Structure 1
Amino acid sequence: MDSNKWPEVGEFVVCEVKNVTDFGAYTALEEYDGKEGFIHISEIKAGWVKYVRDHVREGQKIVCKVLNVDTSRRHIDLSLKDVNDHQKRAKIQDWKNEQKATKWLQFVAEESKLDEKKLQKLEDTLLDEFGSNYTAFEEAAIQGEEAFEDVKISKKIAATIVKLAQENIKLPYVEIAGYVDLTNSAPNGIELIKMALEEANEIDMEGVRLNITYTGAPRYRIRVIAPDYKTAEAVLKDSADTAIAKIEQLGGKGAFHRHIEATRS
């Protein structure tokens, strides 16, 4: 981890309690190279705190909110009381996921023979593009190598990440399908139908895959894979409505038929 990296004010961080005193607790920030943070007794718990040790103890992992960062003094002020249970659970899960991703990236480095400097560059690239290393693996599990089309990494590294992601991340999803009948009697009707289908295929939503295939004139199948039925149905409807609206705008006709089968994984 870059030793010059510091947390942002308002950020939630995972800490290990190192030393408990009468006036607060000193911690090491797990995600920031063990940098020291301090929780004043007034930030331990809402209300009056008599003994800090009644609420935190050495060796305990806790989630805190960053109140202030002074890089010149290398001092970080933290709050424990400003973190609710939901925020704590979400942060711990994110932290665990990032730990997994770090291990997977070590394997990627071994497979691709990356030295420490190149591995750091890869991590920085993934962080810039996806916001976190785990999100990069998550996108790889969903989209395959398509997730890295516009990312400046080699095809070999992308393929290794995809392989690891699909082996280790089990994403729940549902698959649904529907059909649109598109016709246009104009001399260039086929081209106009293609235009309508291209627009329908441009419906874009994070974590969703959309695919349109020809099944036999005048019918086209719209297949949607999404995290849940509500999202899948919304994308299917948007895609079908877009195709129909476009073909009608171009002087043709369109109709939607919902396919009743659906699968869940």
Structure 2
Amino acid sequence: MSEKFMVKRDGFPSKGEIVIGTVTRVLDFGAFVSLDEYENKEGMVHISEVASGWVKDIRDYVKKGQKVVCKVLNVDRKRGHIDLSIKDVTERQRKEKLQQWKSEMRAFKWLEIAGESVGMSKEELVKIGKKLIKTYDSIYNAFEEAAYEGYEVLVPITGEELAKAIAEIARENIKPPKVKVRGYFELTCFKPDGIERIKKALMAGMNVKDGAEVKIEYVGAPRYRVIVESEDYKTAESVLKKVVDKVVKTMKSLGGEAKFVREAV
């Protein structure tokens, strides 16, 4: 079975950095961890840094081959020593790091596919990958940039052919995050068919699209919440303004009153 394609960072991690690694050896006084993101770098977790409280047997907490998220306590570049802590990593930091690493592993595969599609050797691809990490901090971030901004941003690093291949894969796999803007209407109409008139005004707002998704929810008389979801704030704000104008004008033309209050997201 061929080894997974990966691009590792040169140099040492920084003090305070959250890193991911694989336990290679477990001894009575501590565990040695190979740093997955760094080229030929290994750190050590002293038994006192494995878990909070007294640890009788380190093997109750870590095992060879286990994937661990650690905080870098100290780096001695001259001696090549990296001191790590498992207990100093919060649950949130651990989950975020594992998710980042999962995304990065996917990006390695995408880069490999892009490289193969343009006939690039693994060695050349690794060199370019290291440059992408230096500029964007991760291969996944580079793919995100290509997905959102277009292949041109990568050309100075990758060349045009590979940049286009990366952008194509990025667009297929990375969807821009959605943004939401919201507020609520206070709508009143004292006509006999007032409820129907309010519904008509709200429907007029629902029919506004322009590249965004519009939702209107009943909160409790006389309030109706409106949520506009889009890929960018500029579009969302523009559509929200159109929805508000449409609902307010329609409600007033139908003999009712309308007020809009903006909500913080």
Bin for the TM-score computed over the shorter chain: 0.5 to 0.7
Aligned to 2:189: none
Taking a change above 3 Å as real, the CA distance of residues 32 and 125 of structure 1, as seen in their structure-2 partners, is: closer
- Cα deviation for residue 34 of structure 1 reads 4.5
Aligned to 1:122: 128
Separation (CA, whole Å) in 2 of partners of 1:75 and 1:94:
25
- Cα deviation for residue 127 of structure 1 reads 2.3
Q: Deviations over 1:20-52 (max 9, x none)?
A: 222111111111134221111111111111111
Aligned to 2:164: 159
Residue identity opposite 2:28 in structure 1: D
1:258 counterpart (218, 221, 243): 243
Root mean square deviation, CA, Å = 3.4
Separation (CA, whole Å) in 2 of partners of 1:114 and 1:83:
39
Separation (CA, whole Å) in 1 of partners of 2:101 and 2:151:
25
Taking a change above 3 Å as real, the CA distance of residues 68 and 82 of structure 1, as seen in their structure-2 partners, is: same
Residue identity opposite 1:118 in structure 2: E
1:25 counterpart (25, 28, 31): 31
Aligned to 2:12: 6
Aligned to 2:78: 72
Taking a change above 3 Å as real, the CA distance of residues 146 and 173 of structure 1, as seen in their structure-2 partners, is: farther
- Cα deviation for residue 153 of structure 1 reads 3.5
2:89 counterpart (74, 79, 83): 83
Could you tell which deviates more after superposition, 18-27 or 115-124?
115-124
2:140 maps to 1:134: yes
Separation (CA, whole Å) in 1 of partners of 2:108 and 2:232:
35
Structure 1 segments unaligned to the other structure (5+ residues): 177-220, 241-255, 261-265
Could you tell which deviates more after superposition, 118-127 or 129-138?
118-127
Taking a change above 3 Å as real, the CA distance of residues 239 and 118 of structure 1, as seen in their structure-2 partners, is: farther
Residue identity opposite 2:168 in structure 1: K
Give identity over the alignment, percent.
41
Separation (CA, whole Å) in 1 of partners of 2:236 and 2:177:
21
Aligned to 1:235: 234
- Cα deviation for residue 114 of structure 1 reads 2.4
Aligned to 2:173: 168
| SS of residue matched to 1:47 | coil
- Cα deviation for residue 173 of structure 1 reads 3.2
Structure 2 segments unaligned to the other structure (5+ residues): 1-6, 182-208, 214-226, 247-265
Residue identity opposite 1:157 in structure 2: L
Q: Deviations over 1:93-138 (max 9, x none)?
A: 1112111111221222222222345323422332243221101112
2:99 counterpart (72, 76, 93): 93
The answer to whether the 8 Å contact 1:224/1:235 transfers is no
The answer to whether the 8 Å contact 2:146/2:166 transfers is yes
Separation (CA, whole Å) in 1 of partners of 2:106 and 2:50:
30
1:175-190 equivalent positions in 2, closer than 5 A: none
Q: Deviations over 1:197-242 (max 9, x none)?
A: xxxxxxxxxxxxxxxxxxxxxxxx97579xx9578685347779xx
Separation (CA, whole Å) in 2 of partners of 1:108 and 1:9:
34
The answer to whether the 8 Å contact 1:175/1:223 transfers is no
Separation (CA, whole Å) in 2 of partners of 1:93 and 1:49:
28
- Structure-2-length-normalised TM-score: 0.63
1:111 counterpart (117, 121, 127): 117
Separation (CA, whole Å) in 1 of partners of 2:117 and 2:232:
40
Separation (CA, whole Å) in 2 of partners of 1:34 and 1:53:
24
- Structure-1-length-normalised TM-score: 0.63
Separation (CA, whole Å) in 2 of partners of 1:65 and 1:145:
35
Aligned to 1:48: 54
**Paired residues, number:** 199
